[in-house]
Structure 1
Amino acid sequence: MKKTLYAVVGLLITVVALILAAWLWTPADDSGPPPAATADLAPAQRIARGAYLARAGDCMACHTVRGGAQYAGGRVIRTAFGDIVTPNITPDVATGIGNWSADDFWRALHHGKGKDGRLLYPAFPYTSYTHLTRDDADALYAWMRSVPAVRQRSAPHSLRFPYNQQWALAAWRTLYFRPGVYRVDTAQSLDWNRGAYLVQGLGHCSACHSPRNGLGAEGASLSGGMLDGPGWYAPELTFGAGSGKPAWSQDDLAAFLKTGVAPQATASGPMAEVVRASLQHLNDADVNAIAHYLRSLPAAAPAAPYRRDANPQADAFLAAGARLYRQHCVECHGENGGGQAPHYPPLAGNRALGQAPAVNAIRIVLNGGFAPATAGNPRPYGMPPFGHVLTDIEVAQLVSYLRSAWGNNAAPVTANEINRYRAVPLDQ
C-alpha cells in the first residue's frame, strides 16, 4: 500500500516538474515593433487615446464596483474554482498600480504577470490582451496614470486548492497560454484586420462567447459559452450566411453593436451592459470593422432538427403556452411573432429562441428584457418581467411554445429549468 502511495506521489511530482520545466523553457515571443506611434503623441493625445481604448476594452466593468470609485477594484468574479476579487488599478502608490512602470503594465497585459512576477489569474483576460500592440498598451498606461488615485486595498481571492497555488497556475499556462501580439493577415483587408484585432484582443469577446473546459480554458473560439456566474448564455458569433440562420447585413450588425437594437434582435442581459458601457463609444469605423470581421467568420453547422413528441400531453403543453402568448405577448410581438422592429424584436426566427441552453429566453421572460440606453437609442423600450405573474410551469409552457412556433424548432423546457434560473439574481 505504501509503495503504491509513494509511486503515485512520485508520479505527480514528476508531472509537475515536467510542466514547470516546459513553462520555464518556453521561448519568449517577439513583442512586436517598438511603441513609436504612442511615444510621438503629445501627453493629452496619448491619454485621450488610452481613454478610448479603455472604453473599447470595458475595463471599468470588472474594476469598478457598482456605486464605487472608478477602477478601484473590489468586484467579485464567481468562478467554478472560487471567487476572484478584481484589484485596484488606479495610480495610488500604496494600494493601486501607482508604482508600476509602462513595462510592468505591458508585462501584465502581454504576459499575464504582475509587477512582482507573480502569475495572474486568467479571469483577467490576458489570454486576449496579449494580442495588443505595445503602442496601445502604452496609451492605456498613460490613461490609467491620469485617473484619480483611490486608496483602497485589494481584497484577497478565495480560491480552492490547488487553484490558489502558483505552480498550478504555471501548469495551466503551459497547457493553454502563449503570449503573442496580433499579426496582420495580409490576405485580408484593413477593415477585416482592424475588426479581428479588436475582437481577439482588447474586446476579449472570446472570454464570454467561447466554451470552457473543466480547467476554465477556452474551447472553440466564439462558438458560444455559458456564463456560469451571471447565468446567461453568450451565443456563437456567427452572422454570415450558411449556418442555418438568416444572415445579418453589415448595417444591421453595426447598428446592433452601436445602439443595442436591430431589426433582428435587442441586446439584453450582459450584452446590453457591454453595448452601453463600451461598444456605443467606439467610432463608426471600428464598429463597422468589428461587424465586417464577425460576418466573415465560418458559419456554425446547423443544429440537428428537433423531433417533437407527437402525443396529447406534449400538444396540450404547447397549446397552454400559445394561450399564455396571446394573453401576455401578442400585443407587442404580433400574432405571427413578427414583432415591431426595432423596439419589439421578432420572435419568428429569433436566434435566442433556438439556443441550447434556453437560459436567455427563460431569464427574459422571468426578469424582463431591457435594451441599453445609448446615444443612438436614448429611450429604449423594455419588456416587463413576468416572473411574478407566471408560475414555473406556465413559464415553461410559454418558452416552449416560443421555441416551437413560426418556424422555430428547439426542444421544450421544463419547470425545473425555470425554477433554477428564477433563483439567480440579475446582477450576478
Structure 2
Amino acid sequence: MITTALTPALVHGAAELERTPRGLRPHRLPAWVRTRFPDPQLLMMEAQPSGVRLRLRTTARTVTLVSHPTRLVYRGADRPRGAVDLVVDGEPVASEPLDGGDVIETDLGTGSTELRPGPACTTTFTGLREGDKLVEVWLPHNESVELVELRTDAPVAPAEPAGPVWVHHGSSISHGSNATSPTRIWPAVAARLGGADLRNLGFGGSALVDPFLARTIRDLPADLISVKLGINVVNLDGMRLRTFVPAVHGFLDTIRDGHPTTPLVLASPIFAGIHEDTPGPGAVDPDSLGTDQVRFVATGRPEEVQQGKLTLRVVRDALAAVVAGRDDPNLHYLDGTTLYGADDAAEHPLPDGLHPDTATHRIIGERFAAYAFAGTGPFADGVRAGA
C-alpha cells in the first residue's frame, strides 16, 4: 500500500486545516472567527466537517483513511455514529460508520461534560472499479475528525473541483442533523443533482444572523449563494422582530459587498410544528430523556408574539418582506415550507420535532435542486456557465 501525505490540495470544502499531534483537523470557519468568538457550540459545530471531502484521481481499487474522531453524546440520549462515504465519478457507492475516537458526554440536566479518550478509526473501501477515476471520500458531517493517514494500492493526485461553487449557510438541518451519512444530507443531495461544488456552512444551533458569517461568505469564492435563516433565532429566542429584520438586511448587505450580483437565495425555515405559532426558547422535553427518541419542545407562549417574539410564521413573513423591499434582481426568496410543509409533516414527521430523517433530507434536497438548479431557477444560469 502507498501512503500519501494529507495536504490541503487533497481536502476540499474546508476553510483551514489545523496541524495537531495526530494529523490534520479540518475547520469550516477561518481562525479569525474562531479566535474572535470562541463560543463552545459554534466551535464544536464548525469542526464537524459537513461537506468536506478528500478529492483525488487514482486507479486505486482500495482506499484506506485513518482518522481520529471526536463525537458529542448526550447522557440518556442515543445518537448514531457518523460515517465516511465513498463517491466515485460523482456517484455514492459505499458508506462506512466510524468507530473508536474520543467521546465528549454532556449531561443535559446539569450541563456538565466528561471526556473519554478512544483509539483511531480505520476506514477501508475495497473493490473500486478498475481504471482512472475521480474518488471522493466524504468526511462525517456530525463528528469532528483528525486526518491521520491515507493509504491506497495505487498513486493518487489531487483533483480540481468541478461545477459552480455553491456556498450555503444554514442551521443544524443544513448541517445534516439526523441524516445517517455525509452524502445524504440535503445540501449534498441538492449539489449532486445540480452539478454544483458545495461549500457547506450549515452549523447546528448557530445560524443566528452573525456578522462574522456574512463576512465569511463575502470573502469566499462563490458562484451561487444561499442563506437559510430563522429556526435558530426562534428556538434560541435570540431576537425580537425589531432587531431581526435590520440584522438580516445587514447580513445581506455584507454578502453583497463581496458578491454584488451573484445569485442569492434567502430561504425561510421548513415546517416545524412546535415553533409555527409558539415562540422559543426551545428545550429538550425531559420526559423524552432515556427513551428511544429525544424530542424538543417550545417553551414560549403564542401571545408573546404581540411583544415582538418570533415564531416560524413571523419569520417567513419578515424574510419575504426583506426580499421584496430590496432592489436586487438577483436576490430570491424561497419559502421553506415548499421544501417541507405541514402535509409533509403528516407523512414524514420530524423524529425529534425539529430535524428531518435521512429520507426527508433526500426529499428536501430534491426539491431544492428542482427549485434552484433546474429550468429558470435562480442557480440555473450559474450551472450552465460552470458547465
TM-score by length of 2: 0.29
Determine which structure has more spread, i.e. the larger CA radius of gyration: 1
Greater relative CO (CA pairs within 8 A, separation 6+): 2
